[in-house]
Amino acid sequence: MSKNIRSFSIFILGFTTYYFFDFFFFKTIQTFSKDLFHSKAIAHVIAYSVTLIPLMATLKILLPKRSISELLSLNKSIIKGFTLALIGTLSMLIGYMIHFTAISKINFETLFINTLSSAFFEEIIFRAFLIGILYRFTRHGFLSSVLLGSLLFAQVHLYQSQNITELIEIFTITFLGSVFFSWVYFESEYNLWTAIFLHFFMNLYWEIFNVSENVSGNLYGNLYKLISIAVLIVVIIYFKRKNKIPFEVTWKSLFIKTREVQS
């Protein structure tokens, strides 16, 4: 077995182990932690942290000389990631303030779970590990790297509805959202904090205003989200061109990368 096939097999095995570990034990760990600490928020963080162990072990097996924070791109500037995401989503916030009313009562534990906690862990799992590691350390191009991770990312959001039409909308929106988050992550110099805060702000605005019961949304809910996406794309392109920073995702890296990959 060649080194590349062996590494890819370990990568897939590691994620598969995580996936089933999460599927069978996440709720159990969450319930146990909630009974112990009497907090849904703490229980959510603990459950995610424990189920991430197979992914962390996989990274250390594949790339033992690199730190986990580097491999997950958490060693980048938090301030830069926060600022870029905030600028990009301001139009979404302003639009929602105009067209929607704020919720009257906030459950801060639920808000934390649906915004910061979910954004942080989902970006680690899907963008940094499943998509990021594949793109950064193999010759897989952008589209071939994001396909599997984005399909799974979309699949885990299908719990939000039982209506067939809404399920198709949810799947499509979250799949394309995953592709966009991946592009932002790569083009912000592999700063995962950009994707984390982008995910966080979008979830936050959706939660604190009466936009929609699920991610399929409505006209104005999706319109201002699309405007924010367009703004962020323009900001990133402008910044990179102004500073003469080469783009990460190009025609040459769309399917199979022709340049050297990280080692």
pLDDT tens digit string along 31-59?
A: 999 999 999 999 999 999 999 999 999 99
pLDDT at residue 256 is higher than 60: yes
Q: What is the pLDDT of residue 143?
A: 96
Burial class (CB within 10 angstroms; exposed 0-12, middle 13-18, buried 19+) of 9? exposed
pLDDT tens figures, 140-198: 999 999 999 999 999 988 888 888 988 898 899 999 999 999 999 999 999 999 999 99
Q: Where are the alpha helices (DSSP H) in the chain?
A: 3-37, 40-51, 53-62, 68-71, 78-99, 108-112, 118-122, 134-137, 142-155, 164-187, 192-208, 219-242
pLDDT at residue 262 is higher than 70: no
**What percent of the chain has pLDDT above 90?**
84
142-171: string of b/e by CB count within 10 Å (b at 16+)?
Answer: bebbbbbbbebbbeebeeebeeeebbebbb
pLDDT tier at 81, thresholds 50, 70, 90: very high
Q: What is the pLDDT of residue 153?
A: 94
